[in-house]
Amino acid sequence: MSFAPGSGAAAINLVHQAAELFTNMEGRARDTETRAQLLCKNALERLELAEKRIETAERERREAINEAHQKLRDACKTLEQAQLRIVTAEDRLTAVEFRAQAAEAEAREAKQALALVEEAIRSRLLSASPKAGPSLGTVV
């Protein structure tokens, strides 16, 4: 096996070029890996931030729902109390109306009784003393 003159230097030159090429490729690979790791790190940070925002939004939603439920319960309780007060007021009104009707009936009866008493007094006075008629007219 014989080598042509200068072929040794050419071979060494090719080995150096190949080594330089591999070194450049390794450098680019490291740069690419570094960029990929940075991209992954940034993506992970954005993901964690998004998850925190989601958790906050879900917590605020739950709080809003709980607050709405409490307000609804309070409103229902207030409505029930108002309905009870209305029923009580209606019952009182009905009782007052019955008492008023009874008082009116008693007043009518008393007025009728008074009229009868007045009529009886007039009849007795007029029948007991015929002379009292003109003087009674002046008294009345």
What are the extents of the domains in the chain? 8-139
Our CA angle for 121, 124, 130, nearest 5°, is 125
Among 133, 117, 134, smallest CA distance to 125 is for 133
Map tokens 């925190």 to a residue. Answer: 52
Distance between CA atoms of 42 and 61, rounded to whole angstroms? 28
- Res 60: pLDDT: 97
pLDDT at residue number 10: 87
For the segment 5-42, what is each residue's pLDDT rounded down to a tens digit?
Answer: 668 888 899 999 999 999 999 999 999 999 999 999 99
